[in-house]
Amino acid sequence: MRHKDINRVALIGTGAVGASYAFGMLNAGLAEELVMIDLNKDKAEGDAMDLSHCLPFVSSRTKIWAGDYNDCKDTNLVVITAGAAQKPGETRLDLVSKNCMIFKGIISAIMEAGFDGIFLIATNPVDILTYVTWKFSGLPKERVIGSGTSLDTARFRYLLGDYFNVDARNIHGYIIGEHGDSELPVWSQTTVGTQPIQRVLKKNQQYSMRELDEIFLNTRDAAYHIIKRKGATYYGIGMGLVRLTKAILKNENSIITVSAYLDGQYGENDLYIGVPAVINRGGIREIVELDLNDLETRQFKNSVEILRKSMESIQL
Ligand SMILES: NC(=O)C1=CN([C@@H]2O[C@H](COP(=O)(O)OP(=O)(O)OC[C@H]3O[C@@H](n4cnc5c(N)ncnc54)[C@H](O)[C@@H]3O)[C@@H](O)[C@H]2O)C=CC1
Ligand SMILES: CC(=O)C(=O)O
């Protein structure tokens, strides 16, 4: 991977998710340059103009413009949010063939431009499209990352923080597996501060496992609840992508639940799925292997099987 003098990020797809990410990026001041690319060139241009007008209000300067795939050549990070989104009642997996076709074109255009950086994918079904990006690009697996269950983990920590009346940043726990209906909570490794959740339950009669199960269901189904009300979700993932961008560009070695390529970890091979991983300037430094209990192991394997089944329908 070439190290560029200027921190440039390319965003492919300036729809609801892409525009939310771009807005968050300007606020965070993480990149020196942000190039916006979309099939709908007018939308990308309009967004670039509108976002430029934020610059006098923010603390650091980002050069932002509507570009084309040639701009990906000198880019450290390409973030992809392009493609179809779920309609009410659709699952993420229902989008698989449509978005795979779209990705074929996008990835080949980016690679033809001479891109040699890191891919960060958010388009759904994100685990499968991250795998597809890895296959189509030919880049090392560490440099192709999916947003995975980072958003689900954030939702989980937020809801648990609310339940225990503790800052969500002091809730430590992960949602792993498919970013979708078969994801699972790793209750056995969830803590409030350093206190295991089972201990918190034992010491405080007002809390119950039944209510915690409800919190997981609300985490898993959050996208359906939001899409039913306003048609799409975008702020949560927009900020999640900014968080991942920061971990990469600032070489943070942060542990985030991303969609990562399994190469023996968790007893699985040759698929991308949500697991905690250490993220830095090189992409995925390593996958963190959790000691799952029997139930969690079964649920994780079920999620793997569901992704594998859905991948049978795509041509690589
Ligand atoms: N991973 C996650 O946690 C989340 C993922 N998503 C996913 O993000 C994706 C985008 O969602 P929205 O922004 O709401 O959709 P949107 O419909 O608002 O935006 C999609 C954009 O992609 C563009 N596009 C379509 N085909 C293209 C191509 N071939 N080349 C370049 N641009 C192209 C469209 O012109 C449009 O601007 C969906 O797949 C959605 O399911 C959404 C929320 C959370
Ligand atoms: C749409 C989606 O994937 C989410 O909000 O989780």
Q: At which residue do the structure tokens 């960060």 appear?
A: 120
- How far is Cα 69 from Cα 36, in angstroms, rounded to an integer? 10
- How far is Cα 197 from Cα 90, in angstroms, rounded to an integer? 34
Class of domain 150-311 as given by CATH: alpha beta
- Is residue 123 in contact with ligand 1, taking CB distance under 6 Å? yes
Which strand ranges, in their side-by-side order, compose the sheet holding 191-192?
171-172, 191-192, 195-196
Active site residue 225: no
Amino acid, res. 51: L
Residue nearest to atom 2 of ligand 2 (CA): 223
How far, in Å, is the centroid of ligand 1 from the Cα of 197? 36
Residue nearest to atom 28 of ligand 1 (CA): 39
- How far is Cα 271 from Cα 264, in angstroms, rounded to an integer? 10
From first to last of the 316 residues of the chain, give the pLDDT tens digit.
766 677 999 999 999 999 999 999 999 999 999 999 999 999 999 999 999 999 999 999 999 999 999 999 989 999 999 999 998 989 998 999 999 999 999 999 999 999 999 999 999 999 999 999 999 999 999 999 999 999 999 999 999 999 999 999 999 999 999 999 999 999 999 999 999 999 999 999 999 999 999 999 999 999 999 999 999 999 999 999 999 999 999 999 999 999 999 999 999 999 999 999 999 999 999 999 999 999 999 999 999 999 999 999 887 7
Q: Is 199 annotated as a binding residue?
A: no
Taking the domains of the chain in order of start, what are their residue ranges? 8-146, 150-311
- Could you give the residue ranges of the DSSP H alpha helices within the chain? 16-28, 41-52, 96-112, 126-137, 150-164, 197-203, 209-220, 222-230, 235-249, 294-311
- Nearest ligand to the C-alpha atom of residue 39: 1
- Is residue 148 in contact with ligand 1, taking CB distance under 6 Å? no
- How far is Cα 230 from Cα 239, in angstroms, rounded to an integer? 18
What pTM was computed for the model?
0.97
How far, in Å, is the centroid of ligand 2 from the Cα of 92? 8
> Residue 173: what pLDDT?
98
ipTM of the complex: 0.99
- Is residue 233 in contact with ligand 1, taking CB distance under 6 Å? yes
- Residue 27 CB contacts under 8 Å (≥ 6 apart), including other chains: 54, 58
Amino acid, res. 212: L
Architecture of domain 8-146 in this structure: 3-Layer(aba) Sandwich (3.40)
Residue 95 Cα: closest atom of ligand 1: 39
Asked if 142 and 281 touch (Cβ cutoff 8 Å), the reply is no
- Is residue 151 in contact with ligand 2, taking CB distance under 6 Å? yes
> Residue 2: what pLDDT?
60
Residue 135's alpha-carbon distances to 130, 262, 272, in angstroms, are: 9, 14, 11
Q: Is 16 annotated as a binding residue?
A: yes
